[in-house]
Chain A
Amino acid sequence: MEKIGRYGEYGGQYVPETVMNAVHELEDAYKKYIDDPQFNAELKELYRDYAGRPSLLYYAERMTKDLGGCKIYLKREDLNHTGSHKINNVLGQLLLAKKMGKKRIIAETGAGQHGVATATVCALMGLECCVYMGSTDVERQSLNVYRMRLLGSDVVSVESGTGTLKDAINEAMRDWATNIETTFYCIGSVMGPYPYPEMVRNFQKVISEEIRSQLMEKEGKLPDCVVACVGGGSNAMGAFYDFIREDSVRLVGAEAGGLGADTDKTAATIARGSTGIFHGMKSIFLQDEFGQIAPVYSISAGLDYPGIGPEHAMLHSTHRADYISITDEEAVCAFEYLSKTEGIIPAIESAHAVAAALKIAPTMDKDQIMVINISGRGDKDVYSIARYRGNDVSN
């Protein structure tokens, strides 16, 4: 038995003994299929015919002119079926689950995007689905809860802790340990025990691979900067991965500052966190001096998580990527800005990336190129943004 799945000091497999064999079983299946031509052909077909890939790379001309800096492109993951990048990973994992003969799927969800994607693909593949969601998120993302139920999934509201993403993961892990023989845990981000961080990244790296080829076609060169929001970090890993080896490409992650990274109402893990071991991985977490995981806050349910994937922790510690925190107010302004400037309503999560771009783009040269990953669409957030602005849009 040897240590595997490390990103520098980060990563690992810190899970209870009860689930270790299942983790190994998943690892074996993942290794068997990830480079299997037949598996990849099936996945590619699903990406194309079901999810609608490749997603568009759109030149944001009005935004570019308005900011007066570099040329800005938007990677339109919001145009995927189910409205976010989450479908990329779910199609990959559930195709794998089917090959493994698993019939019952569980997932956690924050904003509901991963839950909706999982419920969708379970419907497509005829699998039983149970989604765990924190009670706070159930309340602020009620539309997605109804969508999941409509798709035939059970949605379990988790009351413990702060009723957010971390608590949903705790409860999904308990379910997994209980129903381990029959159940496949479809983790939604680049987190958890190995092989999840690597597997989820590999199912998301299609984003950066497409950006590369689409930009080559349009501009004949690589981007100078790629910006993505980071909660657990799956859309960012997907958008970064193919460029990590390209030193000329600056990688920027936008994490959720909440009311400010210097306040207690924040989810800015990189800015305020420290190394710890939780949810199956060694990584960076928001926690107190005794290792109690901190209650976190962000307007964005999808970024409201006290940790970050281990590969991001490494990219941060090696300074390969920069992570900046964006406040609720900045994200909401960026949400409104993109809606009015380009006619694209981004998810409040993705609006954090847009907010980071609003700061960085004006400092770059006109002949440089920035790509912002628009990880999801913002329909789900309209109510909460209206509420944030003091408008009543309920009927």
Chain B
Amino acid sequence: MNRIEKCFDELRRKNEKALITFVTAGDPDLETTEKLVYKMFDSGADIIELGVPFSDPIAEGVTIQRASLRSLNGGTNLTKIFETVKRIREKTDKPLILMMYINTIYVYGTERFFAQCREYGIDGVIVPDLPFEERDEVIGEAEKNGILQINLVAPTSHDRIREIASASRGFLYCVSSTGVTGTRSSFTTDFEEFFGTIKKYVRCPYAVGFGISNPEQAKKMAGYCSGVIVGSAIVRIVAENGRESVDKVGEFVSSLKKAI
């Protein structure tokens, strides 16, 4: 069983919600990323997403755009991220996901990419610019190597939710609202309806992300599903504190886990 599936199984048995946290790999450098991963797991994160920086991240708001730029300017690339993952895997057996754009996988070589994911211990990938219709681009190699491709649904998905949700494995990534990543002061999505539709068709856990920035929001959103995903709010702490951000991120992650 994949580590992501195992993680959700254990949480369900304990009647707990999953806390999924995100940092951009290599922001401000990969040594700090490694420390952040250990700290976030120690502080209650159940699954961690590592953002692979891309030159033109069209699904990201300014916080993660800037983090990507800082990381790329520091010389981060996929090969170096895999080396970091390899080191992390020597110390933890918790689920790790790469969040990345399709071009990074395609140009690296889809076959080589997924083989290395398996070799270094990546459990899943989230590809925001790869919609369900184009999943053939990766699904064969992903499945061959036991890597889960995490599908996304959005409030604008409407009648698409049925097919996407019912085909999902690992967990379904529910995008809280229209727009790009980044914190939001409030949401206009009709969550009862959105999650009602998802619940009808989904056969795996489902977690909500995009715009969740504090323990109160996390608590409220966790009420609708199996877990919450927090990204930009953590990346902002890293942006403000750089290499000194590890303890502050730890405190923030603890406060999120307590809230849900």
A223, B257: Cα distance in complex, Å: 70
Interface residues of A in 1-38 (CB under 8 A from B): 1-4, 12-22
Residues 135-193 of B at the A interface (beta carbon under 8 Å) = 136-137, 152-154, 156-158, 160, 163-164, 175, 178-180
* CB of B58 closer than 8 Å to a CB of A: yes
A315 lies within 8 A of chain B by Cβ: no
Q: Which chain A positions have C-beta within 8 A of B106?
A: 275-277, 282, 291
Let me know if B131 and A14 touch, CB within 8 A: yes
Determine the distance from Cα of A23 to Cα of B222 in the docked complex, in whole angstroms.
31
Distance from A291 Cβ to chain B, minimum over Cβ atoms (Å): 3
Q: CB within 8 Å of A: which residues of B? A: 54-59, 61, 65, 72, 77-79, 101-108, 128-134, 136-137, 152-154, 156-158, 160, 163-164, 175, 178-180
Q: Is the CB of B179 within 8 A of A292?
A: no
Extra inter-chain contacts (11) besides given A167-B56, A178-B179, CB under 8 Å: A3-B133, A16-B59, A16-B129, A17-B154, A17-B164, A20-B156, A177-B180, A179-B178, A276-B107, A290-B77, A291-B108
Pair B107/A21 contact, Cβ less than 8 Å = no
Given contacts A1-B133, A3-B136, A14-B129, contact A174 B58 (CB under 8 A): yes
Interface residues of A (CB under 8 A from B): 1-4, 12-22, 160-161, 166-167, 170, 173-174, 177-181, 274-280, 282, 285, 287, 289-293
Residue of B nearest to A280 (CB): B129
Q: Distance in Å from the Cβ of A310 to the closest Cβ of chain B?
A: 13
- Check A1 against B163 for contact (C-beta < 8 Å): yes
* B157 smallest CB distance to A (angstroms): 6
* Identity of the chain B residue whose Cβ is nearest the Cβ of A162 in the assembled complex: B55
Contacts of A12 in B (CB 8 A): 134
Min CB–CB distance B59 → chain A (angstroms): 5
For residue B72, which residues in chain A have a CB less than 8 angstroms away from its CB?
A: 292
SS class, residues of chain A in contact with chain B:
mixed
Assembled-state Cα–Cα distance A292/B61 (Å) = 18
What are 9 A-B contacts defined by CB distance under 8 Å? A14-B131, A18-B156, A21-B158, A177-B58, A177-B179, A178-B180, A274-B107, A291-B106, A292-B54
A18-B108 in contact (CB<8A)? no
B178 in contact with A278 (CB, 8 Å)? no
Q: Please state if B178 and A180 are interface contacts (CB–CB under 8 Å).
A: yes
Bound Cα distance A13, B134 (Å): 7
Pair B131/A20 contact, Cβ less than 8 Å: yes
Closest 4 CB pairs of A and B: A291-B107, A178-B179, A18-B154, A292-B55
Whether B58 pairs with A16 at a CB distance below 8 angstroms is yes
**Please, which residues of chain B bring their CB within 8 A of the CB of A278?**
56, 103
Residues on A with beta carbons closer than 8 Å to the beta carbon of B55: 161, 292-293
Contact B153 A173 (CB under 8 A): no
B107 touches A287 (CB 8 A): yes
Choose one: B131, B133, B164; the contact of A2 (CB below 8 Å): B133
**C-alpha gap A275/B252 in the complex (Å):** 42
A83-B79 Cα distance, complex, nearest whole Å: 48
The contact of B59 among A22, A160, A177, by CB within 8 Å, is A177
Q: For A178, give its contact among B105, B133, B178 (CB under 8 Å).
A: B178
- CB-CB nearest in chain A for B163: A1
Q: Are A181 and B156 in contact (CB under 8 A)?
A: yes
**In the complex, which of the residues B77, B104, B107, B108 has the most CB atoms of chain A within 10 Å of its own CB atom?**
B107
Q: Identify A15's interface contact among B105, B131, B157, B158, CB under 8 A.
A: B131
Complex Cα spacing A18 to B107, Å: 24
Q: Evaluate contact between B56 and A1: CB separation under 8 angstroms.
A: no
